[in-house]
Amino acid sequence: EQAEYKSAFASQSTETIVSTLYVNMFGRPADAAGLLYWVGEINAGRTTLGAAAINILNGAKDADKVAIDSKVTAATSFTTAIDTTDEIVAYSKAGGTAAAKVWLGVVTTAATATSQIAAQDAVIKAIVDGAVANNVLTNATDILSGSSFTAPQVYTPGG
């Protein structure tokens, strides 16, 4: 297990992890049937979380496939644009990777990929300039101060 996985998911239930995979990959919560199937397979030991993630990814169709393809396009553009020593060092820090995750989290269509790619240089500059703080958000009420805050809109059923 990677350190990033451990810090993000180690204490969470299989249901929460699988649901988060769907949100991260497709920008939407898992459908009930898919969630129950993958949680059952993982908990029964018939597959691993990593194998389930790959199978979920490979099974993407329609809007989910568009979301994945769009994320790959945007992420490739972003990582290609990180091409100086200052950018590489700044991006390797927790605040830099967190900012990139927020930036990529918005992407679910070709149009959102295009708009995020248009904004990537500003995001990279903010990472390098230190405008991106290493803040960790929790499930509780978090208070951050600053002059601007940009985050994707996320639908939380029942929330």
Query: Are 50 and 69 part of one and the same domain?
Result: no
- What integer pLDDT is reported at residue 79 of this predicted model? 96
- Tell me what the mean pLDDT of segment 124-153 comes to: 64
Query: Are 91 and 69 part of one and the same domain?
Result: yes
Query: Are 34 and 95 part of one and the same domain?
Result: no
Query: Are 133 and 71 part of one and the same domain?
Result: yes
The answer as to whether 152 is a domain residue is: no
- Inform me whether the pLDDT recorded for 55 exceeds 70: yes
What integer best gives the mean pLDDT of the chain?
A: 85
pLDDT tens readout for residues 38-48 = 999 999 999 99
The answer as to whether 6 is a domain residue is: no
Query: Are 24 and 51 part of one and the same domain?
Result: yes
- Inform me whether the pLDDT recorded for 152 exceeds 60: no
Which has the higher per-residue pLDDT, 104 or 137?
Answer: 104
- Inform me whether the pLDDT recorded for 75 exceeds 90: yes
Report in angstroms the alpha-carbon separations of 82 from 5, 99, 102, 120. 23, 13, 16, 10
Query: Are 67 and 133 part of one and the same domain?
Result: yes
Domain that holds residue 20: 11-59
Name the band, by pLDDT with cuts 50, 70 and 90, for residue 58.
very high
Number of domains in the chain: 2
Nearest 5°: phi and psi at 11?
-95, 5
Query: Are 72 and 131 part of one and the same domain?
Result: yes
Q: What is the pTM of this model?
A: 0.72
Query: Are 42 and 74 part of one and the same domain?
Result: no
The answer as to whether 156 is a domain residue is: no
- What integer pLDDT is reported at residue 62 of this predicted model? 96
- What integer pLDDT is reported at residue 98 of this predicted model? 87
The answer as to whether 4 is a domain residue is: no
Please identify which residue in the block is written with the tokens 């169709």.
61
C-alpha count within 13 angstroms, C-beta hemisphere, residue 145: 0
